[in-house]
Amino acid sequence: MTRTATSPLQITTPSDREVAMTRVFDAPRRLVFEAWTRPDLVKRWLGVRGGWSLAVCEIDLEVGGRYRYVWQGPQGQEMGMGGVFKEIMPPERLVVTEKFDESWYPGEAINTTVLTEHAGKTTMTLTMRYASKEARDAVLATPMATGMSESFDTLAGVLATLA
Amino acid sequence: MATARLDATFAALADPTRRAILARLTLGDASVTDLAKPFAMSQPAISKHLKVLERAGLVSRGRDAQKRPCRLEAAPLAEADGWLDAYRGFWEESYERLDGVLAKMKADEKKRARPKRHGDRR
C-alpha cells in the first residue's frame, strides 16, 4: 500500500483536449521503441497489473496497419481497444489512433509518442489528444472511480485490523 | 486516522458527480461555472455537491468574492489511500514493468554482443 513519494512519471494537461505523460527509461530509444511495438514485449508490461493480463496483442506495424489489445481481468472481465498506425518513424516517433470497444468517452483519441535519447537514457513523451475537452475529462475521471473501489477494499482490511 | 473524518470523506466520495468534480480539481483550481460546464446540471446543483465536499474538508473556497475559486484539499484524500492516483497508477505500474522488460532486453543484447568482443565474429 505504500507508494514512493518521488514519482518519475509526470502527467500534465498541455491543452483542453490533451493529456501528456513524460517518463525516463534507462535504455536506448531503439529498445523502448521495440518494447512499444513488438507484441511479445508489449504483452509483458502494458496494463499488466492487479490480476489483469494483455491476452490479445496484435500489431501490424505499417502506416495504415491496425493494432488490437484485449485485456483480461481476474474474474474473466475483458477490455478491448485498438486503432490504426498513422506515423511510424523508428526509433523516435509513433502516432496511432485509439478507440476502446466500450468507450466511456466520445470519439477517437490520437496518441503521439516521441522518444529522445541522451547518454543512453530515453525520455518518452506520450501525448493523448481527445475529440473534446469533455472526452479528455472523462478519461481522467473514470479510472479514478474504478480505482476507488479497490482502495475501499484495502482500507476495509486496514480498518478491520484496527478494530 | 479520525474515523468521523474518514466517514465524511467516503460519504463525499460516494457520488460520481462529486468524484468528477475532484478529478477536475486535480488539474487546478476552478470556479463553480467552470465546474458546472461538463455536467448537465445547474450551478445550484453543483454548489450543493461542493458544500458536501467542503464539509468533508476535500475542497476549500478562495477569498475572491466574485469567483471564489474551488481548490482541492489533498490531506483527507491521502488518508483515503490515495485513490486519486488510479489513473497515474495504471501507467506507473505499466512503466515499472517496462523498466524490467528494457533491463532484460539490454542484458540479452550484452550477452549476444559479448562473443564478438572476444573476436568470435561470424
Residues in chain B, total: 122
**Alpha carbons A23 and A122: distance in angstroms, whole number:** 8
pTM exceeds 0.80, yes or no: no
Q: What is the pLDDT of residues A50-69, one digit of tens each?
A: 788 899 999 999 999 999 99
Task: Name the pLDDT band for B22 (thresholds 50, 70, 90).
Answer: confident
Given a contact cutoff of 8 angstroms between Cβ atoms, the answer to whether B51 and B12 are in contact is no
Do A11 and B26 touch, CB atoms closer than 8 A? Answer: no
Q: Quick check: A96 pLDDT over 60?
A: yes
Q: Is B92's CB within 8 Å of A7's CB?
A: yes
Fold for the domain defined by B3-81 = Arc Repressor Mutant, subunit A (1.10.10)
Q: Which residues of A touch B (CB under 8 A)?
A: 1, 3, 7, 9, 11, 13, 21, 23, 25-27, 31-32, 34-35, 41, 44-49, 133-134, 137, 139-141, 143-148, 150-152, 154-155
Q: Which three cell numbers stand for residue B78?
A: 491521502
Q: Tell me if A71 sits within 8 A of A54, measured CB to CB.
A: yes
Are residues A144 and B97, on separate chains, in Cβ contact within 8 Å?
no
How many pairs of residues across A and B have Cβ atoms under 8 Å apart?
A: 109
Question: Which pLDDT score is estimated for A32?
Answer: 93
All structural domains of chain A, each given as residue ranges with its CATH number in brackets, are 10-162 (3.30.530.20)
Strand order in the sheet with A10-12: A10-12, A18-25, A121-129, A109-118, A93-100, A78-89, A66-72, A53-59
Q: Is B37 exposed, middle or buried (0-12, 13-18, 19+ CB in 10 A)?
A: middle
Q: Which pLDDT band holds residue B72 (cuts at 50, 70, 90)?
A: confident
Instruction: Report yes or no: B23 and B59 within 8 Å, Cβ to Cβ.
Output: no
Q: Please, which pLDDT band fits residue B121 given cuts at 50, 70 and 90?
A: low
CA torsion angle B19 B75 B47 B23 (round to 10): -30
Residue predicted with more confidence, A81 or B64: A81
Report phi then psi at B119, rounded to 5: 80, 15
Provide the angle, in degrees to the nearest 10, between the axes of the packed helices B3-13 and B16-25.
Answer: 100
Domain range summary for chain B, segments of one domain joined by +: 3-81, 85-122
- Using CA atoms, how far apart are residues A81 and A66, in angstroms rounded to an integer? 11
Residues of chain A in contact with residue B80, where contact means CB-CB under 8 angstroms, are 151, 155
Strands A93-100, A10-12: pairing is unpaired
For residue B6, the tally of other CB atoms under 10 A from its CB is 16
CB A116 within 8 A of CB A24: no
Stronger pLDDT, B18 or A125, i.e. the higher one: A125
Do A21 and B27 lie within an 8 Å CB cutoff? no
Would the CB atoms of B88 and A7 count as touching at under 8 Å?
yes
Distance CA A139, CA B118 (A): 52
